[in-house]
Amino acid sequence: MLEIKNLHANVNGKEILKGLNLTVKAGEIHAIMGPNGAGKSTLASVLTGNPAFEVTEGKVIFEGKDLLELNPEERASEGIFLSFQYPVEIPGVSMVNFMRAAINEQRKYRGQEPIAATDFLRMMREKKELVEMDNKLTNRSVNEGFSGGEKKRNEIFQMAMLDPKLSILDETDSGLDIDALRIVANGVNKLKTPENASIVITHYQRLLDYIIPDFVHVLYDGKIVKTGDKYLALELEEKGYDWLK
Amino acid sequence: MIPRRGTLINLQVIMNNTDTNNRVKSTSTSSVKQDGAEFQYIELYSQHHETIKKHSAYVLNEVRDEAFKKFCTLGFPDSRLENYKYTDLSESLTVDYGLNINRVRFAVNPYDVFKCDVPGISSYLYFVVNEGFYPVSTPRNETLPQGVIIGSLKTAAEEHPELVKKYFGKLSVKQNDGLVAFNGAFAQDGFFMYVPENVTIDKPVQLINILRSNADFMANSHNLVILEKGAKAKLLVCDHTVDDVRFFSNRVTEVFVGENAQYEHYKLENVHNKTTNLCTLLVDQDTSSSFLGNVITLHNGLTRNTVEIDLDGEHCETLMCGMALSDKNQQIDNFTSVIHNKPNSHSSELFKYVLDDSAKGGFTGKLYVAKDAQKTQAYQTNKNILLKGTAKMRTKPQLEIYADDVKCSHGATIGQLDDKAMFYLRQRGITEKEARLLLMYAFTADVIDNIRIDALQDRIKLLVEKRLRGELSKCEGCVICK
């Protein structure tokens, strides 16, 4: 599904990713761990086409397409979803309008008709239940006045609505209490199919108790320095990152 | 379809038949202030003031010469004046406009010609065509609550001279503004609304100012709105242009909101690029009254809104909002003053601009808190988005506070669309163009939220969206444009 080869990327002229390689196949969950500043969030930004980041070298192939040639909305419509570490508040844009616009734009990209109003509302209702999201939240502006937990839940709700092939969860666990964490993780697990894949970026092993990864990678100084199974996460939790240097 | 051609020919015929007196153009260029734009109007007034007075009412004429004298001293405001720094009328004033001082009626009934573009709005509907109140009404206006008077200012001044005299000019004569003085000299008629004590007008009242002429044209009108103690009313003023000539409209509206009265004033401007639209809105609020003003400029040429709200009682509530969506070479200047003369009142202002191309915006928020106006709370916000480097915005908060126990704040921002929000929307598959639209639309949402007539709010939402999409390159609402 996704193949990253020798990826180098800069932000503000500073090199953050220094030759990263990663292959993700359908049905897999990859966890990426690593200390602060290793480049975890940069990887998420680069894969989704954030214009603040500059790719200087390397290749990213997604479902046979050169991902780096596509703009952010095209990547999204191809099926890449990012659950933001810091979801943005957009006062004045209602959740309903936002979701309808997103779904219809993606459908347009794929040459499909806009979604029927009744189907859309049914879908909203179903997916809200999945993440146990309050009705009141979807009547508000995007993330405006949401608590940290509500924002993260809203990310998973959007993921459910958009049904991506590859979802990247950027520190979705940060700022969540145990209950919220379980709800968010549950949502992710329910959305898991043999056809989609996830990249889970996290600092802590805790999230991986709920979302069981097939692979755990350690990102250090812009490169993946170690890859293992879910037990690697436990080892990291115990020993820290220093022993990998 | 609208008999556009017929309409115009009619107008022309009337004008031609009655010759120069109907539509006086003064082209004299001799003598004193030869270079000033004022000169031709001063001469016009000197020659024709009898005619002007003949076609107006005594109450209005009483202060006319005084206003004229004031205009002779002040002249038209130019951008050297502090209060007109962001409004440059010099180009507009080079045009040789015609005036209809003989009050020749238009042969066309606007009720037939003009279809309101706000679907589902149920209103009492009135027209001012150019400078005069259109005298024929519609059956749906007959259900007005008892005691309410809505009609021509001139007629009201003739039929209820005591009532009109009590209020007319009380706010405008205090203004030290050349445009207001000019209006005082030339305005012969306008819209009049009187709501008696404790009467609520159930539906919004809608006043449509239509500008139509076959030659460059100037319109001056004076509106007077009076709400007695405990009265409630909403007025929606729509400015439209119909013909493709240069227009110069200079309107003054005086509003008196009595004790405990509640008044909402909406102004929706949708005029073509060749229009110079100058509006002065003067509001006087009595004890415990509430006022909501919302001036929305969707499409314009050069616009100046001067708003002055005097809080002359305690416990007043004032909310003044406005927004402008401008592109090309459009200019919009909102000059607002809120004057707290008495303690314990709340006021807030919210103005938003989205400027594209070479549009120029100006905002002044003058706030005056008198020495005795303790416990005043006054807030002011002006936020602006410039979509291109060539667009210009000037914003100026101006606070004069003489009381020492008050809460006042002001804030102004000029910026671009939020990059983070843009990326967030795009990451969900929304194209850059669509994301920009959503954000621009969202930016104006809180101003639109302050429209408390549902049908109007829905319509404005749609018009704003269309405007932002660039589908509204002409003014909408006038059927003739379509």
Which of B350, B420, B427, B457 to probe the A interface (max A CBs under 10 A)? B427
SS3 content of chain B, % helix, strand, coil (to 5): 30, 35, 35
Q: How confident is the model over A197-220, as pLDDT tens digits?
A: 999 999 888 888 899 999 999 999
> How close, in Å, is residue A219 to chain B by CA atoms?
24
> How close, in Å, is residue B260 to chain A by CA atoms?
32
Taking CB atoms and an 8 Å cut-off, how many pairs form between chains A and B? 82
Question: Out of A93, A97, A106, whose CB is closest to B429?
Answer: A106
B421 touches chain A (CB under 8 A): yes
Backbone angles phi, psi at A124, to 5 degrees: -55, -45
Q: How confident is the model over A6-16, as pLDDT tens digits?
A: 999 999 989 99
Partners of A141 on chain B (C-beta within 8 Å) are 442
Question: Out of A73, A88, A103, whose CB is closest to B421?
Answer: A88
Confidence class of residue B4 from pLDDT cuts 50, 70 and 90? very low
Q: Which residues of B163-199 are buried (b: 16+ CB within 10 A; e: fewer)?
A: bbeebbbebbeebebbbbbbbbbbbbbbbbbbbbeeb
Partners of A97 on chain B (C-beta within 8 Å) are 438
Give pLDDT, residue A176.
84
> How close, in Å, is residue B216 to chain A by CA atoms?
41
Give pLDDT, residue B176.
95
Q: Is B207's pLDDT higher than 90?
A: yes
Search chain A and give the residue with CA nearest B431.
A73
> How close, in Å, is residue B444 to chain A by CA atoms?
8
Partners of B437 on chain A (C-beta within 8 Å) are none
Question: Out of A52, A73, A90, whose CB is closest to B429?
Answer: A73
Partners of B421 on chain A (C-beta within 8 Å) are 88, 90
- Provide DSSP, B7-40: HHHHHHHHHHHTGGGTSB------STTTTSTHHH
Which of B385, B416, B428, B439 to probe the A interface (max A CBs under 10 A)? B428
Partners of B443 on chain A (C-beta within 8 Å) are 92
> Which residues neighbour B31 within 8 Å (Cβ) at sequence distance 6 or greater?
B39
Q: Which of the pair, B114 or B5, is modelled with greater confidence?
A: B114
Q: Which of the pair, A205 or A165, is modelled with greater confidence?
A: A165
- Provide DSSP, B396-445: EEEEEE--SS-EEEEEEEEE---HHHHHHHHHTT--HHHHHHHHHHHHTH
Give pLDDT, residue A75.
97
Q: How confident is the model over B297-330, as pLDDT tens digits?
A: 988 999 999 999 999 999 999 999 999 999 889 9
> What is the average per-residue pLDDT within A14-32?
95
Partners of B420 on chain A (C-beta within 8 Å) are 88
Segment among A6-20, B252-266, B273-287, B464-478 with least mean pLDDT? B464-478
Q: How confident is the model over B183-204, as pLDDT tens digits?
A: 999 999 999 999 999 999 999 9
Partners of A106 on chain B (C-beta within 8 Å) are 429
Give pLDDT, residue B323.
95
User: Is A91 in Cβ contact with B442 (below 8 Å)?
Assistant: yes
Give pLDDT, residue B89.
94
Q: Is B115's pLDDT higher than 70?
A: no
> What is the average per-residue pLDDT within A118-147?
90
B443 touches chain A (CB under 8 A): yes
CA-CA distance, A40 to A16, in Å (whole number)? 9
Backbone angles phi, psi at B355, to 5 degrees: -120, 130
Give pLDDT, residue B136.
79
Give pLDDT, residue B118.
65
Q: How confident is the model over A67-90, as pLDDT tens digits?
A: 999 999 999 999 999 999 999 999
Question: Out of B424, B430, B445, whose CB is closest to A101?
Answer: B430
Tokens of B450: 């302050």
Model ipTM? 0.96
Confidence class of residue B119 from pLDDT cuts 50, 70 and 90? low
User: Is B427 in Cβ contact with A76 (below 8 Å)?
Assistant: yes
Measured from the Cβ of residue A127, the count of other Cβ atoms closer than 10 Å reads: 22
Give pLDDT, residue A124.
93
CB B269 within 8 A of CB B295: yes
Give pLDDT, residue B48.
94
**Residues in chain A whose Cβ is within 8 Å of chain B:** 48-52, 71-73, 75-77, 81-82, 84, 87-88, 90-93, 97-98, 101-103, 105-106, 109, 141-142, 158, 162
**Longest Cα separation, chain B:** 69
Question: Out of A90, A97, A101, whose CB is closest to B421?
Answer: A90
Answer left, alpha or beta for residue A111, where phi above 0 means left and psi between -120 and 50 means alpha: left
> What is the average per-residue pLDDT within A24-52?
93
CB A150 within 8 A of CB A144: no
- Provide DSSP, A182-198: HHHHHHHHHH--TT-EE
Search chain B and give the residue with CA nearest A87.
B424
Give pLDDT, residue B475.
46
Q: Is B20's pLDDT higher than 50?
A: no
> What is the average per-residue pLDDT within A164-182?
89
Confidence class of residue B381 from pLDDT cuts 50, 70 and 90? very high
- Residue A56 amino acid letter: T
Q: How confident is the model over B147-185, as pLDDT tens digits?
A: 999 999 999 999 999 999 999 999 999 999 999 999 999
Q: Is B482's pLDDT higher than 50?
A: no
B424 touches chain A (CB under 8 A): yes
> What is the average per-residue pLDDT within B212-230?
95
β-pair partners for B281:
B253, B307
B469 touches chain A (CB under 8 A): no
CA-CA distance, A81 to A19, in Å (whole number)? 23
β-pair partners for B382:
B351, B412
Q: Is B253's pLDDT higher than 80?
A: yes
User: Is B432 in Cβ contact with A93 (below 8 Å)?
Assistant: no
> What is the average per-residue pLDDT within B24-32?
40
Partners of B427 on chain A (C-beta within 8 Å) are 48-49, 72-73, 75-76, 81-82, 84
User: Is A76 in Cβ contact with B432 (below 8 Å)?
Assistant: no
Q: How far is CA B253 from CA B44, B84, B226, B287, B333, in A?
A: 24, 19, 11, 21, 17
Q: Which of the pair, A169 or B8, is modelled with greater confidence?
A: A169
Q: Is B278's pLDDT higher than 90?
A: yes
How far is C-alpha B49 from the geometric centre of its chain's CA atoms? 26
CB B354 within 8 A of CB B326: yes
Segment among B11-25, B98-112, B392-406 with least mean pLDDT? B11-25
User: Is A92 in Cβ contact with B446 (below 8 Å)?
Assistant: yes
Q: Is B25's pLDDT higher than 80?
A: no
Q: Rounded to two decimals, what is the model's pTM?
A: 0.82
Average pLDDT, chain B: 87
B446 touches chain A (CB under 8 A): yes
Give pLDDT, residue A203.
83
Search chain B and give the residue with CA nearest A44.
B427
Partners of A81 on chain B (C-beta within 8 Å) are 427
Question: Out of A50, A91, A102, whose CB is closest to B428?
Answer: A102
B442 touches chain A (CB under 8 A): yes
